[in-house]
Amino acid sequence: MAILVCSVDAFPHIGGISVMAHELCNAFQSEGQQTYFLGPSGVSMPDDRDCKYVIIEDRKSQKKIRHGAHAINEDKRIRDSVAEIIREHSIERIIALHPFYYGIGALAAARALNIPFSVYFHGFELKSQMIAGRLSSCETPVWSKMSQTLPNRTHYLISHADEILTNSNYTKNLVREVEGNTFTKVTGCGISKEKYEEVLRENSRYDRADKLRKRLNIAYCKYFWGKDTILLSYVGRLSHEKNVERIIDICNEDSQFVAIIAGVGPKEEALKKRVNDLGLSDRVVFAGRVTEGEKWDIWQASDFGMLMSEPNEETGNVEGFGIVLLECAVCGAIPICSGVGGMVDCVEDGQTGRIFAPTLSASEVAFQLKRLFDDQPEMQRLVSNAQKQVSEKFNWEAIAKEILKYPPAVRGAKIMLEKTFLHHYLTKMSNVLRKKRK
């Protein structure tokens, strides 16, 4: 099967969607599917990444045009470009990630040529549109002026795609709020099996002595040599909903706790001020933006991987899954989270990590973490369970197999294209392309 994956978020930009798109494309290719990736102008592969699939650069892309009157012409251009790719490469299935840019045009091309179309949603991108405006039914043509808001375009994709893929059950429930009858498949997120096996060779168990040795590889751990220190680590964006303050407050409760906070974002200066005001500068280190290799070094030196996010009700920002909880686990660090959003899909309290609800005080969390730290057999049990689920289902190869297992059927009868002024054009284009394929 030839698969086309399209996403406006793509390398060299490093982010959750771009990494996911790359890993899925590699996994599809490894499963014997000829895979093509359509990305915006400038898409390219970083030198440290292995690319097994074919990259198609959309040189004419204007990725900031995602809604409004100008999006009409851009949708048409995308439709024509995707139709040409389908014809040239005999594409048999399309999967759109972060679909606000490519989604509408790619769906139109898929419909014209009777190609199954799947759309992938994450919690935040969907929740933000539900807050931005009512996701009203889009029975009128998508090219009409009434349908040019992002919420309406989102609803159109959900209600007309052949299949909805989501990163968590939380996101699946959001989809059902929008369109209850849509077929939705939860895939989860993952890390590459190759990376998992590489890291696991050195971190197959929780080893306290090994953790201390690995801190020697991190220059800014100079204060963390004490054998009794408990290292809490966070890697991610420093933004309001990540609630990094809670990690700082835990450190403030007991001098045994130290922390590495890696990442940048709008809350960075406020967090640094909080650390200084509390007199924690010798125990809480801000690592800034870290490389891929530095990230793994941090996880391997850590006792606990922290993700204490809380939903931002104003923006809709929510933790759709929490892939860092998998990364820290394969490095032998216990996943610790607040259990909101999609995090409960990968952390089962007391089995694959610990969940501390946002309402629990920092002092109580500190007490619970110290008690767990003192129980080394329990630390090892949690790590083993967490690593097992990564091996079995939370890796991109397993996720790719799940996506490929039951390809969606085209539900063209439900599409309202016959009501659009483009129906005649699409029908004509479809006939022409079919003749060329023959």
Using pLDDT thresholds of 50, 70 and 90, give the confidence band for residue 424. Answer: very low
**CATH number reported for the structural domain that contains residue 245 in this entry:** 3.40.50.2000
Q: Within this chain, do residues 150 and 210 fall inside the same structural domain, yes or no? A: no
122 & 7 share domain: yes
On whether the CB atoms of residues 189 and 326 are closer than 8 A, the answer is yes
- HSE (CB half, 13 Å, CA atoms) of 231? 30
Judged against a pLDDT cut of 50, whether residue 119 lies above it is answered with yes
Same domain, 343 and 399: no
Mean pLDDT on 8-17: 88
Residue closest to 4 by CA, chosen among 35, 43, 39:
35
Q: What's the angle, vertex CA 153, arms to CA 152 and CA 156, rounded to 5?
A: 90
User: What average pLDDT does this structure show over 33-53?
Assistant: 94
Same structural domain for residues 197 and 162?
Answer: no
Do residues 235 and 105 both lie within one domain? no
Helices 150-160 and 169-178, axial angle in degrees (round to 10): 100
Are 230 and 321 in a shared domain? Answer: yes
Mean pLDDT (the chain) is: 86
Clarify whether residues 356 and 343 are in a common domain.
yes
284 and 417 co-located in one domain: no
Confidence at residue 42, expressed as pLDDT on a 0 to 100 scale: 95
- pLDDT value at position 305? 97
The structure tokens listed for 209 are 């002595």
Same domain, 58 and 85: yes
pLDDT in tens, 208-235: 888 888 888 787 776 666 778 999 999 9
Residues 328 and 415 in one domain: no
Predicted confidence (pLDDT) per residue in 274-329, tens digit: 999 999 999 999 999 998 889 999 999 999 999 999 987 666 677 889 999 999 99
Q: How many helices (H) and strands (E) does the chain have?
A: 16, 13
What domain count does the chain have? Answer: 2
Confidence label for 429 from pLDDT (cuts 50, 70 and 90)? low
DSSP code for 164: E
CA geometry: angle at 215 spanning 214 and 220, to 5°? 145
Q: Which domain holds residue 206?
A: 193-392
